[in-house]
Structure 1
Amino acid sequence: MPNIIFYPQKFILPHGLTVQGKSGKTILDIALSNKINMEHACEKSCACCTCHCIIRKGFFSLSPCQEKEEDLLDKAWGLEKYSRLGCQARLGNEDIEVEIPLYHVNHVNEQ
């Protein structure tokens, strides 16, 4: 099983976390099952971009990005070349490193 390294995120994961995930599971499902309170306003239906994350390592081992996801990513704050939606990106067999942005379209932390 691949390792998923979640980088520290000051509001929901201040110390970061490394977990193992089963190939074929989404980043969001792995986060939630490990008590990482990653936002998912559309309940994993690929209808928003609140679960936007940036893949810092292992991007190409994930499932391919589909057109609907690409369209939603265009609305994500802080979009980067290796951005994905956590509800759509499925693990392959390689380790990945994930950054959860501080902001998303429905929420801005100003602390």
Structure 2
Amino acid sequence: MDYDVFAKACPSRPTLEHVTGRWGSLTLSALDAGPLRFNELRRRVDGVSEKMLSQTLQALERDGLVHREAQHTNPPRVDYSLTPLGRETADKLLTLIRHLEASMPRVLDAQAAYDAR
């Protein structure tokens, strides 16, 4: 079956949204460094609410990008990590993120020029 993200009914659209949305891309990128517990991840992804992080992790887990492992300890412990597909996706996101970070002087110059018009 061929998939076309430009087609309205293509099932790749929701996954694209999960991956490229603010919280999805930051969550995947944060997990690239290795498994994290929920609160560690929340601290790493500065600004995300507990509810949004929980929803993001559920969507990414459903898409097969994140693995959730519950440890039966007292207190309970849950670790999140990337699946192989998640790692491939995070690598591509990190390339884009590093490119944007390195390009910020040019972006800021372009924004200042635009705003000055």
Q: TM-score scaled by structure 1? A: 0.31
More helix by share: 2
Flag the structure with more relative contact order, 1 or 2, with Cα contacts below 8 A and sequence separation at least 6.
1
